[in-house]
C-alpha cells in the first residue's frame, strides 16, 4: 500500500457506518452555501473556490452541477467523505440526499445523545474506548464508546480539551493527557 495514512481513514469510515446513532445525526446549515447531488462536483467546487476561478464557479451553477442551499436548512446525515471535507445529507422533509461541505454544518445535539453523555458521566467506573475521530477544523468530533463528543464535553470526569486529526487531548484529575484511537478513557 503506497499511502498508509489512508488506512486509518478507511477503518474510520467502516467503523462509522456501523454506529446507528451517527446515522441519525441532525445538522443545521450555518450559512448560505452550495450543494451538489454528485460528490465529485463538490470536490471540483472546492478546487474552484480555492483558486478563486469565478468563471468556472458560474459555469458549475449554469450547468446545474451545483445549487444554492439556504442558511438554517435542517438536514440529516446520510454519508461522508471525510478526506474531502464533504458530507451527504438529506433535507428535513426531503427524500433525496445531496453533498455539502462539512464546514458549513453544525450538529444539533439530540436529547438522546445528551442523556447518554450525562449517564456516562454519572457512571465513572465505565471504561469507554476511543473508536474514531472525525476531524474538521471548525467542528471536530470523536467517537468514544457509543457517544459522539466535541471539545468541552466531559466523559468519565475527563474534559475533552482538543480533538486533533489522529488524537485528542483531555484533562482529568488536573492532568493533561493525549489519547489515540484504541485507547480507553
- Structural domains of the chain in order of their starting residue, each with its CATH number: 25-108 (2.30.30.40), 111-180 (2.30.30.830)
Q: Which residues contact 36 (CB under 8 A, 6 or more apart)?
A: 42, 45, 65, 66, 67, 98, 99
| Whether 102 contacts 136, CB under 8 Å | yes
pLDDT in tens, 38-92: 999 999 999 999 999 999 999 999 999 999 999 899 998 888 776 678 889 999 8
- Overall pTM > 0.75: no
Positive or negative, the Cα torsion across 150, 151, 156, 157? Answer: negative
73/94 Cα distance (integer angstroms): 11
Q: What are phi and psi of 118, to 5 degrees?
A: -65, -40
Q: What is the DSSP letter of 96?
A: S
DSSP symbols for 105-144: EEEEPPHHHHHHHHHHHH-TT---BEEEEE--SSS-EEEE
pLDDT in tens, the chain (185 residues): 455 555 555 555 555 544 444 445 788 898 899 999 999 999 999 999 999 999 999 999 999 999 999 989 999 888 877 667 888 999 988 889 999 998 888 887 654 455 555 554 554 456 778 888 888 888 888 888 778 888 998 888 889 999 999 899 999 888 999 999 888 87
Distance of CA 184 to the CA centre of its chain: 21
All cell numbers assigned to 118:
450525562
d(CA 52, CA 155): 42
Amino acid at each position: 500500500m503506497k499511502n498508509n495514512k489512508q488506512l486509518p481513514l478507511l477503518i474510520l469510515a467502516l467503523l462509522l457506518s456501523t454506529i446507528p446513532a451517527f446515522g441519525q445525526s441532525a445538522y443545521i446549515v450555518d450559512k448560505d452555501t452550495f450543494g451538489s447531488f454528485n460528490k465529485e462536483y463538490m470536490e471540483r467546487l472546492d478546487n474552484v473556490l480555492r483558486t478563486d476561478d469565478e468563471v468556472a464557479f458560474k459555469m458549475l451553477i449554469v450547468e446545474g452541477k451545483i445549487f444554492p442551499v439556504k442558511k438554517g436548512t435542517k438536514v440529516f446525515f446520510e454519508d461522508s467523505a471525510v478526506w474531502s471535507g464533504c458530507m451527504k445529507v438529506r433535507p428535513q422533509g426531503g427524500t433525496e440526499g445531496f453533498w455539502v461541505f462539512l464546514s458549513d454544518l453544525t450538529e444539533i445535539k439530540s436529547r438522546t445523545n445528551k442523556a447518554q453523555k450525562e449517564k456516562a458521566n454519572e457512571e465513572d467506573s465505565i471504561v469507554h474506548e476511543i473508536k474514531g475521530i472525525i476531524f474538521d477544523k471548525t467542528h471536530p468530533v470523536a467517537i468514544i464508546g457509543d457517544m459522539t463528543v466535541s471539545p468541552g464535553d466531559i466523559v468519565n470526569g475527563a474534559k475533552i480539551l482538543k480533538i486533533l486529526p489522529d488524537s485528542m487531548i483531555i484533562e482529568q484529575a488536573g492532568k493533561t493527557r493525549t489519547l489515540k484511537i484504541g485507547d480507553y478513557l
